[in-house]
Amino acid sequence: MLKKTSVDLKTSGVLNKLVSDYLDKESFLRPYYSFFPDKNGYRDILKTKPYQGFDRKILTKILNKQSLLTSNTSEKSLANIELLNNDSCYTITTGHQLCLFTGPLYFLYKIISAINLAEKLKIEFPANDFVPVYWMASEDHDFPEVNNFHFQGKKIEWNSEQQGAVGDFITSELKSLSSSFEALLGKSENSAYLTTLFEKSYLEQKTLADATRYLVNELFGEYGIVVLDGNDSEFKQQFKEHFKRDIFDNKAYLTTASSISSLQEKSYQIQVNPRLINCFYLEKGSRLRIEKQNEQFNLVGTDRVFSRAELEKIIDEHPEQISPNVVLRPLYQQVILPNLAYIGGPGELAYWLEFKSFFDESGVLFPILTPRNFVSIIDKVTAQKINKLGLSVPSIYKSEQELIKEIQLKNNAYFELGDEEADLRKLYDKILKRTAGIDKTLEGSVSAELKRSLNGFSRMSAKANKAQRRKLETELKRIRDIKGSLFPNGVPQERYENFSSFYLSFGKNFIEMLKDQLDPIEISQTVLLES
């Protein structure tokens, strides 16, 4: 069982300043979003009766077609697709790269957040229906970001010479990797399930997109998740005018410039800077950036060029050959889905906030930006170490040096010369006053001597504390173990560990336990302790 406690996100340190201020409702940021992610925000957006006239038949037709790409789309997911035919039904969307075997844990947390939010909104607004959607980033071409996951301290990595959109990568070459992973899992009922899940997902499906669809259906199908692949000709047909506005009129670049400049003036870090053109040319084995040169359009890294007329013809007749980058993808999502909320991490929400003016100019609804659940899982052994040290749960988010000092103080083993430093400063103040009456130029010499003396005190304290810490080796090892469990390689657990490590311990109840414990509206760091 997992016992839940919550920690303020400012304590856990997972948010960037922009998203932190957004969640604090900083007045400066009010023009950068439409509705806030709370009950009132969802009530207000529903009052506007959004998506009137939205073509739901084409949406359900495409989703039903895509659902047939794997054999394991659940009845509940199919029923949710049918619900989207109704004007009172909306989607709650999250998206992520096609990470091998889900990649880091937060892949799961994003999808669970979407599922739970859809369920909670149905309770709050029973006249409406809400469908959770997982958007596959199948057009991404950054293979090193998706080709690996970590399992019990080991990196499981897929090396491939394939090129282009990762969703098209053929997964049959993962056979040897599957065998290696199976050997690491050991022998148990839970490991047997993970082995089978990996094989059915990656060896029995043709492409990485199909494998990811199968995997997400297996893990979340019973909750009605709908898996959507934006790399679809019929979806892109609906977006072709926006492709043209970006390629020929540079609308994204021009309309976001003012917003980005204003955010920079407030010292916010900009996550994404739009290019003049935010589209790629997509074909088998390659995804090439489009760049305007004089009156022609070049495919970067090649000698291929198109005239405006040729490129317009491609967009009109074969829109599947145009691929949106990270700047256009949010708008694309909101054009093809009746979507109320986007669930993302801090980096994602930060760049969405940059784009509000672009949405307004495009006449497209800006969704409610909702942070995903942030989670740390503390196993039994780690929980016992925390208890033995007498640490509170929030304190584990302090730096290792801060925790070491805290333990030294608890054990009366911290050496400091605070009082002596204060006395020393008083002594030098007296000396300074006396020498100033003799010669003002002596002031620099006195200050330099004080600094040297204080540096000496600092060295003495460091040596004394090093000696004190040697007496607390057991306690300090526990601190290192705790930090290693929650921040492996200095990275938050949810951004490093794969779910398989925890599935081995908790089995098929793992996802159900997560789903039961996570609140989609609660904006905090959730800490789950194994009891």
Q: Order of strands, edge to edge, in the sheet holding 286-293?
A: 305-306, 296-299, 286-293, 279-283, 322-324
CA-nearest of 437, 440, 475, 502 to 194 is 502
Give the pLDDT confidence of 147-197 residue by residue, as tens digits.
999 999 999 999 999 999 999 999 999 999 999 999 999 999 999 999 999
How far, in Å, CA of 41 to CA of 125, rounded? 12
Dump the DSSP string for 131-171.
EEEEEE-TT---GGGTSEEEETTEEEE------S-GGG-B-
Averaged pLDDT for residues 26-43:
97
Degrees (nearest 5) of the Cα angle 3, 225, 196? 75
> What rounded mean pLDDT belongs to the chain?
96
* Structure tokens that stand for 128 in this block: 């409406």
Let me know if 17 is exposed, middle or buried by CB neighbors in 10 A (0-12, 13-18, 19+). Answer: middle
The pLDDT tens digits of the residues spanning 71-115 come to 999 999 999 999 999 999 999 999 999 999 999 999 999 999 999
pLDDT on residue 432: 85
Q: What was the pLDDT predicted at 424?
A: 87
Q: Quote the Cα angle for 512-523-103, to 5°.
A: 50
> Is the pLDDT confidence value at 442 over 90?
no
φ and ψ at 160, to 5 degrees? -145, 150
> Nearest to residue 108, comparing CAs of 222, 230, 219, 223?
219
Q: Per-residue pLDDT for 438 more than 90?
A: no
pLDDT score for 57 = 98
Q: State mean pLDDT over 431-452.
A: 86
- Based on DSSP, count helices (H) and strands (E) in the chain, helices before strands: 23, 15
Position 335 scores a pLDDT of 98
Structure tokens at 114: 């979407």
Query: Comparing 4-18, 302-316, 418-432, 513-527, which segment has the lowest mean pLDDT?
Result: 418-432
CB contact at 8 A, 454 and 424: yes
